[in-house]
């Protein structure tokens, strides 16, 4: 599936920003199943410094510094990307979850050593006893890890309510678990926390999800948003993408920007500002299948 993505972030400030530095995770990560064909970034006002690099987790990053006083910042990213179907993976035939846990503990393979980074608590996914309690019914003795993890995210999808105003970026994971309400970021963190409570490696994935309008209705341009899901290591070199917000496995409807331990590692845009007063942030995302529009 080929997509055209436009992600526009606009920040309006009540006073001049004298100096700003921003880190952007807005370029898609090159992957065996994801190929980038076109990538453009437009920033107004134009930064005095722009540096492209790759972070610790292998994600492409853009660093910008602005020295010109400004009351508005607009960052627009456009890219075309192909997403191929993922390899078939039989959940019921995957290794027992205890075997995967023990392999990671022992560091018995290169894959286990790399996955070990995603076993431990992180800034936004602290260790909470309630996470192990919630996870336990899915992880019965000897159950295949793929089957157990999928059962977990289906339970989250059933037990928790998507509520765009119930949480914000600073809402603690414990509050999400108690209120059983939140957004995709919260549900990804919740599932990751449950898996890590079982000593299993799980990473946070930032990206986009293609949305399909109801029958007979047109897509609303700019109505899409960034999305979040998780990947769990299932031994070897295989990571299984799971989306607890929708109770589904990874698919060609999902476009990956990058991954890390949690949202804090791959937030789309973060910065340090001098000046500015209060600010108003607006984010617009459009995910357009290119088989429905004319190619340039």
CATH of the domain at 239: 3.10.620.30
pLDDT in tens, 33-54: 999 988 899 999 999 999 999 9
**Residues contacting 60, CB < 8 A, separation 6+:** 25, 27, 28, 29, 30, 52, 53, 54, 258
pLDDT in tens, 162-177: 999 999 989 999 999 9
Q: Nearest to residue 57, comparing CAs of 240, 203, 242?
A: 203
Regarding whether 141 and 62 lie in a shared domain, the answer is no
Which value, to the nearest 10 degrees, does the dihedral of the CA atoms of residues 165, 170, 176, 178 take?
Answer: -110
Beta strands in 164-278 (DSSP E): 181-182, 202-209, 226-233, 239-243, 248-249, 254-260, 269-275
Regarding whether 190 and 100 lie in a shared domain, the answer is yes
pLDDT in tens, 150-208: 999 999 999 999 999 999 989 999 999 999 999 999 999 999 999 999 999 999 999 99
Instruction: Say how many domains are in the chain.
Output: 2
User: Residue 38: is it exposed, middle or buried by C-beta count within 10 angstroms (0-12/13-18/19+)?
Assistant: exposed
As a whole number, mean pLDDT of residues 96-116 equals 94
Regarding whether 111 and 126 lie in a shared domain, the answer is yes
The pLDDT value given to residue 217: 72
Q: Are 24 and 60 in contact (CB under 8 A)?
A: no
CATH of the domain at 53: 2.60.40.2250
Regarding whether 214 and 118 lie in a shared domain, the answer is yes
Is 296's pLDDT higher than 50?
A: no
Regarding whether 254 and 166 lie in a shared domain, the answer is yes
State the pairing for strand pair 161-162/181-182. parallel
Regarding whether 174 and 76 lie in a shared domain, the answer is no
Task: Provide the residue range defining the domain that includes 37.
Answer: 2-84+267-292
Regarding whether 240 and 214 lie in a shared domain, the answer is yes
Q: How far is CA 247 from the centre of its chain?
A: 15
Regarding whether 103 and 249 lie in a shared domain, the answer is yes
Q: Are 133 and 199 in contact (CB under 8 A)?
A: no
């Amino acid at each position: 599936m080929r997509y055209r993505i436009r992600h526009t972030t606009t920040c309006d400030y009540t006073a001049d920003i004298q100096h700003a530095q921003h880190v952007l995770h807005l370029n898609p990560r090159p992957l065996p199943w994801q190929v980038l064909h076109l990538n453009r970034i437009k920033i107004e006002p134009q930064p005095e410094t722009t540096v492209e690099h790759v972070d610790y987790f292998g994600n492409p990053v853009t660093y910008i510094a602005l020295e010109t006083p400004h009351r508005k910042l607009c960052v627009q990213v456009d890219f075309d990307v192909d997403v191929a179907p993922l390899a078939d993976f039989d959940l019921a035939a995957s290794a027992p979850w205890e075997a995967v846990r023990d392999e990671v503990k022992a560091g018995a393979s290169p894959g286990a050593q790399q996955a070990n980074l995603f076993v431990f608590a992180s800034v936004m996914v602290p260790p909470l006893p309630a996470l192990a309690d919630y996870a336990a019914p899915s992880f019965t003795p000897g159950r295949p890890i793929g089957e157990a993890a999928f059962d977990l995210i289906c339970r989250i999808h059933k037990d928790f309510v998507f509520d765009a105003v119930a949480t914000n970026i600073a809402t603690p994971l414990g509050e999400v678990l108690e209120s059983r309400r939140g957004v995709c970021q919260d549900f990804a963190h919740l599932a990751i926390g449950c898996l890590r409570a079982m000593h299993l490696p799980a990473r946070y994935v930032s990206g986009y999800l293609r949305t399909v309008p109801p029958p007979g209705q047109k897509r609303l341009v700019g109505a899409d948003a960034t999305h979040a899901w998780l990947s769990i290591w299932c031994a070897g070199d295989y990571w299984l993408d799971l989306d607890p917000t929708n109770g589904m496995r990874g698919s060609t409807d999902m476009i990956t920007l990058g991954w890390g331990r949690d949202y804090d590692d791959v937030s789309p845009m973060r910065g340090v500002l001098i000046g500015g007063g209060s600010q108003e942030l607006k984010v617009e995302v459009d995910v357009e299948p290119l088989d429905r529009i004319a190619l340039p």
